[in-house]
A and B are shown apart, each in its own frame.
Chain A
């Protein structure tokens, strides 16, 4: 899970609002402002960082200041994205009853009035719409082809991409770009100057590069002529390769995301591209050609001007709402029923376990509770409220282990690691030089063949596989406690002081409502994911830890809560942790379904015995969890023995040939903030983020505000990234993984001349139903309303409908839906929902998708059941 309120974007938006850039009065007379255009570009370009820091976010974050439907349909018109399922797909979903008729009728009635119901139903179900989008962006530059008969992109892109990639490369090339420290243009000019060869085929562009004083305006004057078209031209140009441009813009804003520093500027990249364009035109057209604006007469278009929804947009909107509510309605009905027979909490608690809110932990928690009915589980963002940088022993860099927008002031260092790092001979650069490559291919070719045979038939962990447990040594020591205020490294305090620890532990415990009745053992279970051959592995790790496994955080929180002096401070504040109680950090590998526990030596004798028993509970739960997950993997027989299924799941995470080690956040749809008893009786098919929260301890909603602040960016971000990658896997996702090629260790592309591909690959999103997140909060609507209104950034998610919000009145059990700034009661149309005794039977019966088109894939997603 993950992401961030991008603080830059927020600032951008504010600035854009203040200056009112797109005022109509400016249109005709405006001069080109380089600063303004660069600013706008940065706002609209994709903002994905290099793959090693994969953090989920709303793909269309640039449009978030508008209402969801206005935003997506505008984005579609401007950039040509597909932003919902297609009309044909919606109609199919209706036919297979995934979109329910009564919900569809209600949605249409709500929007269009009862009188127009039949008219609109007819439009939705039968009318044909010819909807062949031609995006606004790209139209201006298309004239190069239509008027000058030159395919500029075809000629410029390969060299441009290769130059950018070589410049930014983090370690694939053995002979790296002589980058220097002054940026791309300076480095390119230097290279050009000292070389007998040239980037260019003609003189003019070369001279301009060498002179070094060119700016975007001058170059556009040559290329385009009339400055009214400049902004449009630059947008056309940069969005013809949004992947690379987005990467450059993002790295300019976040230079830290490169280990090997580069001076990066979008402006440099644009100038370089403009020079290449001039060169290409000079080469084909000779020295004297007329700028582009002389070739046509249409006025410039305002690329981003809003446009009213068309009828076909409205049709799609109604379908989308109906699709969403067909599921939500079921969930709310389920919660209503479950609320009527809430289980009583166990009188005595065997152990407690705090998990990440991640929806992948939803099923594991269910099985843990089922295996040991006396335990209690909680959910909270998986950095467990402790934010810091982590430096493994011998690490040259720090890993940030907290949500992306947070900038920690603390550093935790690892010492006394016993494990040795291992290497993979066949991955070294020696295979890429002439003579040692000769020796390698002659002698190690056989080994390569042997390894291939082994990996195809007996997959096992290797140094080449991303291993969730390798983040730190199992028995290593961490510098958690700060003993000396002068212990500072690079401006970061090493470890936390006791008061700092106490603040964090208290906040964490209060937020999940665990302030009393502590069991003897409290597990803090982080998660990570092991996978082989998967450049997107970061997207499977914990987003609350900036796309890393959260094991260190779990260990740190446990250590803090075990610290006697911290407990003393807590006791003074009313949170009394009994002496027998011990916290234990753990890590769950969500792909291999394995768990590891930390610092077991420190357990008391009694707890050590109890722990052995609890490990058994976790193991049995993992077996069943593996079985539940296996139903979506065609290569595993779900009906096989638990041991076999578990082995197959574990092998899968280390198999090179397996493009789906796990399915990540696919199908995520719900986020439930409340006590566990609210959802405990329901089977939600691993679709719900579960955040523990006890409204009784927080009548004013102060804790709630803290909980809800990250939910929009984190859960909403994940959900929207899956949504957009699902509806347009080509333009907003990364397409199928199978042809992916690594570029400079920062991204992937198709083939060798392709643009970078931000977003999620097909294999991650194929099970996902593209519906927005439904956030359900157990609290009085007026408190929830006050809470979300307390911060504009938070409010934006809900008022603009990027996330649906429902509050459940804890007294009456009535649900209230938030729309247009107010809550109103919602009564589900589903009277009753199915109940099951044995989830295993449901799992074994469940349908498997025939193809990964949405209409087929969605059949895999199970309805809500009550668990008897």
Chain B
């Protein structure tokens, strides 16, 4: 039985790969692959879960695939199966199946039919990887895949402005969660001295002993996991991404943001519960966050006059309640609540266009006019303040911009002087010097050598911020985002000799191909009109869809899409940062946070958005 359940991951992977091969104009094939594989998945899961119930709910755990091993660094794909997995996998599989059948007709003749079904399968793969994961690494792989799919589906209508803008917005908040998860893995790695498997967390004795000695680290890990969970489940203060993610076809909004994606936070909390259940403060924090979110989200939902955001906020409110349930140990309730909420919101989103007829019809027969001018009393003042705040979605979006993104962007903008050939040459020289220092450590004074990691890491971060804020030629952004990565890797290598040839090699093999291919794509695009500034959106994918795809793949390679060498490299990279070097880990994680955003921003600005040559019908910017 143990050996069977990895099939639930391999099946979607296989289906995804097959769907990539199917021709784009064969709708029946494309949807058939998805319906058949997800349907099979669901049936298999039902049988498997039945067997599992008969064997009295054993908790299953297997080491599935060892990806990398050196010294005390082992990265492996582990799977795990318990009640939580069962509930999330069953609901996920059922809803994905229904949505696949629904979409077979719904997406008919839409330009991105293949894109839709391939992304759906990729998402399904990521989701299963996540819910079946047996350790943080596996969970992170699934998590990242889900994140990439989100970007692709929000920007499904890639030649319109708002979907593209919002896909960047969503991914930038998601990225915060990614980084928190990476940091949680990093801290965890250093306190356990291994990559911990979830099964081990169930051992109350081990965890208790661990908390005795590593209380502070445990709190930090829990908080990081909480932030990651709050991001994925659109809890405060991240809630405003969820309604904005509803830019793709209604079916994708339903399955992603109505049901599956948005409950991942609940899953992560359930999965890590054994670890933080002993930390009272964390428990109350989670419950408090859930409660606050529920109240705020419901107030926003109540005054929403547009339907999909209303459903989104209602769902967020229910997820807030689930956080409370998880925190206080009502896990069965939370699982039922999840299943019910997922089905309900999927249904509501799918039928949302019917509400036009239903509500108008209802109004026609039942309308009672209510005049309600603003009232003037202290209580009314409070009520009105609440109304106005909710109308502005509690300024969440604005605050985020003002206090988080803008300062970094401003810092990046100060570095515009770097956009010159001379600066680039100097930077290359500095990098080579650093490499030499790494290989000939003995000849560098120790006092200086000690500082080098910080210097290189900080420089790397600055380069990435520069790239993030670039408004001129996209090639500069590309150059600096690569330079940033090289500097940051070098900084880690300088700090830890164990991060040697092999590790660097793995990392560089991943990014070098991506970097070169990406640069070639940009140069090709540049040749068309001699204009690839990053101030505007260009929408070149309309003219060069294939080049766009190649560039997207190189972007994902550069970012460290799961299964690429870069991805393993990033994991190794973090594992090699010593826990004393807090500043280094701060620079590196900020660097990785902005690196992805900088890269996707280049992709979005050059390839997506309104096509700049208006020789055919293009959308308004406001749509």
Contacts and interface: CB of A to CB of B under 8 A. Distances in A.
Contacts of A289: none
A440 B314 CA distance: 11
A195 B385 contact: yes
B119 interface: no
A361 B304 CA distance: 41
B250 A750 contact: no
A452 B617 contact: no
B623 A749 contact: yes
Nearest to B614: A133
A634 B299 CA distance: 44
A445 B333 CA distance: 13
Given A171-B359, A440-B344, A165 B619 contact: no
B388 A394 contact: no
Nearest to A445: B340
Contacts of A176: 303, 372
A567 B364 CA distance: 36
20 contacts: A51-B356, A133-B615, A153-B621, A187-B374, A190-B373, A191-B374, A192-B388, A396-B366, A427-B355, A441-B344, A449-B95, A464-B357, A727-B617, A731-B617, A742-B355, A750-B163, A752-B244, A752-B246, A752-B309, A754-B162
Contact of A194 (B311, B341, B343, B384): B384
A432 B612 CA distance: 41
Interface in B259-305: 294-295, 298-299, 301-305
A446 B340 contact: yes
Interface string A408-428: 000000000000010110110
Nearest to A849: B109
B563 interface: no
B212 interface: no
Given A194-B384, A448-B344, A533-B351, A745 B359 contact: yes
Contact of A464 (B253, B351, B371): B351
A431 B348 contact: yes
Given A166-B391, A451-B347, A659-B108, A172 B355 contact: yes
Interface stretch (B97-105, B426-434, B479-487, B585-593): B97-105
Contacts of B358: 424, 427, 463-464
Interface stretch (A330-338, A474-482, A650-658): A650-658
B307 A742 contact: yes
Interface in A601-621: none
B360 A163 contact: no
A240 B356 CA distance: 26
Nearest to A52: B360
A180 B373 contact: yes
Contact of B619 (A431, A441, A448, A735): A735
A448 B347 contact: yes
Given A193-B374, A259-B364, 8 more contacts: A131-B615, A240-B622, A427-B351, A452-B346, A739-B246, A743-B307, A750-B162, A754-B162
A173 B299 CA distance: 11
Contacts of B317: 434, 437
Interface string A630-642: 0000110000000
Given A434-B294, A730-B617, A740 B250 contact: yes
Interface in B304-353: 304-311, 314, 317-318, 321, 336-337, 339-348, 350-353
Interface of B: 25, 27, 94-95, 98, 101-110, 156-157, 160, 162-163, 165-166, 243-244, 246-251, 253, 294-295, 298-299, 301-311, 314, 317-318, 321, 336-337, 339-348, 350-367, 369, 371-376, 380-382, 384-385, 387-392, 398, 612-623
A288 interface: no
Contact of A456 (B101, B348, B367, B621): B101
Nearest to B376: A194
B354 A731 contact: no
Given A456-B102, A463-B358, A134 B614 contact: yes
A297 B145 CA distance: 51
B340 A181 contact: no
Chain A to chain B: the 8 pairs with minimum beta-carbon distance, closest first: A445-B340, A169-B305, A180-B373, A449-B343, A738-B249, A448-B347, A755-B622, A441-B341
A329 interface: no
Contact of A166 (B305, B355, B357): B305
A397 B368 CA distance: 11
Contacts of B310: 172-173, 432
Given A396-B366, A731-B619, A181 B371 contact: yes
A133 B611 CA distance: 12
A735 B398 CA distance: 29
Contacts of B157: 736, 739, 750
Given A533-B354, A744-B306, A751-B166, A657 B106 contact: yes
Contacts of B364: 259, 392, 395-397
A172 B388 contact: no
Contacts of A742: 306-308, 352-353, 355-356
Contacts of A535: 353, 356-357
A654 to B, nearest CB: 11
Contacts of A660: 108
A95 interface: no
Contacts of B343: 445-446, 448-449, 452
B104 to A, nearest CB: 8
Contacts of B107: 738
Contact of A191 (B94, B344, B387): B387
Nearest to B154: A751
Contacts of B103: 657
Contact of A657 (B105, B305, B389): B105
A5 B348 CA distance: 39
A199 interface: yes
A493 interface: no
Given A172-B307, A445-B341, A742-B356, A852 B314 contact: no
Given A173-B304, A181-B371, A735 B623 contact: yes
A656 B360 CA distance: 18
A196 B94 contact: no
A766 interface: yes
Given A397-B367, A533-B351, A744-B306, A444 B617 contact: no
A197 interface: yes
Contacts of B27: 634
Interface in A427-467: 427, 431-434, 437-438, 440-446, 448-449, 451-453, 456-457, 463-466
B303 A438 contact: no
A196 B380 CA distance: 11
Contact of A394 (B309, B347, B360, B365): B365
A132 B539 CA distance: 14
A484 to B, nearest CB: 27
Contact of A175 (B251, B253, B302, B342): B302
A594 B44 CA distance: 42
B245 to A, nearest CB: 9
A851 B298 contact: no
Contact of A82 (B246, B305, B307, B616): B616
A656 B104 CA distance: 12
Interface in A77-125: 80, 82, 86
Nearest to B384: A195
Contacts of A727: 617
A443 B391 CA distance: 30
Contacts of B381: 194-196
Given A195-B388, A437-B317, A730-B619, A745 B356 contact: yes
A701 B184 CA distance: 85
A749 B306 CA distance: 9
Contact of B385 (A173, A196, A655, A657): A196
B302 A533 contact: no
Nearest to B160: A750
Nearest to A397: B364
Nearest to A79: B620
A40 B263 CA distance: 50
A811 interface: no
